[in-house]
Amino acid sequence: MSTNRRDFLKLTAAATGAVGLGLPSSLAGAHSGPSSSGAGHRPDDPPRRALRMLILGGTGFIGPHMVRYALERGHEVTLFNRGRSNTDLFPEVETLIGDRNDDVSALAGRTWDVCMDNNAGTGRAPWWVDLTGRALLDSVARYYFVSTRSTYAAVDAVPMTAAQPTLTFETAGVDPSAESLPYGLAKAEAERTVLGLYGTDRTGIFRPGLIIGPGDQTDRFTYWPVRIEMGGEVLAPSGGMDPIQIIDVRDLVEWMVRMAEAGESGTYNCVGPEYPRPISELLYGIRAVTTAETIFTWVDTDFLMERGVRPYSDLPVWRPPELGAGFARFDLTDEVARGLTFRPLATTASDTLAFHHSRPREVQDAVLGRFFTPEEERAVLDAWHARPGAPGPRWIG
């Protein structure tokens, strides 16, 4: 018996889931609202002054992009990490060695203008933030935390804004004594931890959606450039109009650095573009940076659901509105006014492919198998074309 679409959607949704403090005086108590000029913080604006910036981590996916941009902007960067991975990336940058589980002693006796906490998607995020946050309480003027769109208890509002409620232990159905928390709840609790320590005037919370671009090892966006570059008939979900909002890693971290330069605080959503892009525009845009001869066959959402094809998992990036009408309909008015910008899709797609081709052959060959394998895709396409009265494969666009 095929899975009822409403039941399948429910199952899928459940699964996806300062002055007087010894602080740098230039940032202590700075205005946390919009810049008085109303012009935002544009990428080509020179920094108002060089910052002393502490970056927790700095060697994973988003960290290196942030470090490079901060250095390009003339800031003094210090890293804090365990010193175990990518240790050769920034030999000119001071690195303090420690462990966010139990040893942050290396942070003592120093001051910085801002701390950038690029906390990974770990279930222990609130405890890590509490430990480092307390250690830095009298040492940094502002604490910026990279959170996630997944903190929201629901994404049904259209448009979505940062005012929507976030997950709690109660709404997530999780025991408060749990030693490790689900991703969205862990980030939501970490946000509350930062705000409890630093207050709204000294806290910046940034909630990105799917972070994409060169350096991404999850390959959730990379799947599409790789599959499209292969050419042939490509299964494309829905009728092509389902909205997509994602974020290039460089757009995220560069905006955060500029926000720190301006002394901004607040909570922000970090997705793009400003107006949601239909998935058809996304896929056609990716195809435009390749030389592939590609057939896009648009398969109805109902048909995919009946065959157990999982949105955002088997077919990454795509999530139909039935799973949350506001998931890719975020109002970014405030963020864009403060200078959040979005580089062209063609740039992101071509840079992602270049990164992909720089990896070992065995890594390249494994990308498609992590999601919708060619065999699985072919089986669904064959079934789609075998429907009574189906016209068969056809060229589109």
Residue 293 belongs to a domain: yes
Instruction: Please report whether residue 329 resides in a domain.
Output: yes
| Residue whose entry in the numeric block shows the structure tokens 């005086």 | 25
Rounded to two decimals, the pTM is: 0.89
Q: Could you list the residue range(s) of the whole structural domain that residue 172 is in?
A: 5-385
How far separated are the first and last CA of the chain, in Å rounded? 36
Q: For 355, phi and psi rounded to 5 degrees?
A: -60, -45
Report the C-alpha gap between 337 and 354 in whole angstroms: 32
Q: Helix 249-261 vs helix 62-72: angle between axes, to the nearest 10 degrees?
A: 50
| Amino acid occupying residue 48 | R
Is it the case that residue 284 has pLDDT exceeding 50? yes
Query: CA–CA separation, 273 vs 277, rounded Å?
Result: 7
pLDDT at residue 280 greater than cutoff 70: yes
How much is the average pLDDT of 13-37?
38
User: Mind listing the pLDDT tens digit for each residue in 155-198?
Assistant: 999 999 999 999 999 999 999 999 899 999 999 999 999 999 99
Give pLDDT, residue 389: 86
Q: Does residue 397 belong to any structural domain of this protein?
A: no
pLDDT tens, 216-260?
A: 999 999 999 999 999 999 999 999 999 999 999 999 999 999 999
pLDDT at 310 over 60: yes
Mean per-residue pLDDT over the chain, rounded: 90
> Tokens representing 21?
């403090």
Residue 307 has pLDDT above 90, yes or no: yes
Residue 393: band (very low, low, confident or very high) from pLDDT cuts 50, 70, 90: low
Q: How far is CA 158 from CA 47, 276, 320, 322, in A?
A: 35, 12, 14, 13
Could you give the CA distance from residue 135 to residue 209 in angstroms, rounded to a whole number? 29
Q: What is the pLDDT of residue 390?
A: 86
Does the residue 283 lie in any domain?
yes
Tokens 């580089």 belong to residue? 343
Burial of 192-204, coded b for 16+ CB within 10 Å and e otherwise, reads: bbbbebbeeebbb
Any domain includes 395: no
Could you give the C-alpha distances from 364 to 2, 361, 369, in angstroms and in order? 34, 5, 10
Distance from C-alpha of 377 to C-alpha of 386, rounded to nearest angstrom: 14
Q: How confident is the model at residue 45 (pLDDT cuts 50, 70, 90)?
A: confident
Rounded to the nearest 10 degrees, the angle between the axes of helix 223-230 and helix 279-287 is 60
Judged by average pLDDT, the poorest of 15-24, 148-157, 190-199, 374-383 is 15-24
pLDDT digit string (tens) for 326-342? 999 999 999 999 999 99
Flag whether 391 is in a domain: no
CA proximity to 57, closest of 111, 109, 93, 18: 93
Q: pLDDT-based confidence at 26, cuts 50/70/90?
A: very low
Which pairs with CB-CB distance under 8 Å and at least 24 residues apart come from 28-33?
28/141, 29/201, 30/141, 30/263, 30/264, 30/265, 31/263, 32/200, 32/201, 32/264, 32/265, 32/266, 33/266
Q: In this structure, is residue 392 part of a structural domain?
A: no
Element containing residue 36 per DSSP (H, E): none
Instruction: Name the residue among 253, 216, 205 with its Cα closest to residue 66.
Output: 253
Here the CATH number for the domain that contains residue 42 is 3.40.50.720
Q: What is 73-86 written as a DSSP string?
A: TT-EEEEEE-S-S-
Segment 51-73, tens digit of pLDDT = 999 999 999 999 999 999 999 99
More confident of the two residues 397 and 160: 160
Coil/strand/helix, residue 234: strand
pLDDT score recorded for residue 394: 59
The stretch 112-121 carries a mean pLDDT of 90
Tell me, yes or no, whether 62 lies in a domain: yes
pLDDT at position 35 over 90: no
Helix (H, G, I), strand (E, B) or coil at 8: helix
